[in-house]
Amino acid sequence: MTPAQLEGHGVIVTGASLGLGKAIARACLAHGAHVYICARDKGAIDAARAELAEESGDSRVFAMQADVADAASVRALIEAASRDLPDLLGLVNNAGVLGPKGVLEDVESNEWWRTIEINLLGTMLCCRAVLPVLRRAKYGKIVNLSGGGATAPMPRMSAYAASKAAVVRFTETLAAEYAEHNIDVNAIAPGALNTRMLTEVLAAGPDRVGTAYYNRSVRQGEDGGASLERAAELCVFLLSKQSDGITGKLISAVWDPWDSLARRQKQLHGTDVYTLRRITPKDRGLDWEQS
C-alpha cells in the first residue's frame, strides 16, 4: 500500500472510539481520507476524535454519538456525514458486540437478540442509509466486519457466531444487488485481536466460555494477538480504487494474500473463493449417490 490511497474520499467508521475501529479510522486518515467516526459513548467518541485530529494532517475527522441499531440515529449519522464530508464514498461497519456467553439455555434471550440487533441489524441499517449516497456517486465501497464466528462454530457464544455468519451472507447478497451501481461490498475477518472482546472473555472465565476457548484466549493475551494495523490496512485496500471490482468476498487480514488480489482479479472473478458455501460429499472425494 502506498500513501494517499484514499485522498479526498469521505469514509464513515462505526464503533470507532477504541480498538480496531479507531485503528481503521487512523489508517484511513493516514491515506488521505476525511473520516466520520461514531460510537454510542459520547465521551469516548469525542476523546477519540481529539486524539485522531492531532495526527490527521490535512485530513479532517468528525465524530458523532450514534447507535447503529437505531434507524433514526443511523439516518442522522449518514445525513451529517454527507453534509460534512467532501466525497462520501466509503463505509466501514465495525460496531459490534460479543454478546452473552454461556450455553443457549442459560443465556438471556433479550441479550441474544440485542447482539443480533447490533451486529446484523446495525450493519444492515448503515448500509441501507448510505447506499443512496453511493448510488448517486455511481461508486462506493462498503466493508463489513465479520470474523471467526462466521466460519466455525463458537460454542457458548451462539449469538455472536450467528450474527457474524449472517453478516457474510448479507455482504455477498448486497454485493450482487449493487454490482451494477459500481459499489463493492466485502467482509473482513481481522484475526484474534487483543481488544475489549478479549477482555470480556477473560473476565467471563472458563465456566461461561468453555475451558478450551478460555485457555486459547489466555495464550492470545500473552502472545499479543493479531495486528490491528494489518486489519486496518486491509480495510484501506478494500476502500481504495486499487480493489475496484473485488466484491462479495470474506477476506482474512491474517491468512489471505489480499495485497496481491488486485493483480489476481481475473482468477478471482467467477469463483467461490473467499465465500461461504455448503460442502458436499463430492467436494471431499466421497461418492454418496442418492438412493
Any idea which residues carry the catalytic annotation? 160
Query: In the numeric block, which cell numbers belong to residue 39?
Result: 460510537
Q: How far apart are CA 43 and CA 65, in angstroms?
A: 9
Alpha helices in the chain (DSSP H): 19-30, 42-53, 71-84, 109-116, 122-137, 158-178, 196-204, 206-209, 211-223, 228-239, 265-268
Q: Are 169 and 120 in contact (CB under 8 A)?
A: no
The distance from CA 141 to its chain's CA centroid, rounded to whole angstroms, is 12
Q: How far apart are CA 220 and CA 216, in angstroms?
A: 6
Q: How far apart are CA 47 and CA 265, in angstroms?
A: 40
Give the CA distances from residue 41 to residues 75, 99, 180, 277, in Å, rounded to whole numbers and listed in that order.
Answer: 18, 18, 37, 37
Helix, strand or coil for residue 85? coil
Q: How far apart are CA 3 and CA 7, in angstroms?
A: 9
Query: In the numeric block, which cell numbers belong to residue 244?
Result: 475496484
Q: Please give the full DSSP string across 203-226, using - where no structure is assigned.
A: HH-HHHH-HHHHHHHHHHHHHT-S
Query: In the numeric block, which cell numbers belong to residue 175?
Result: 454485493
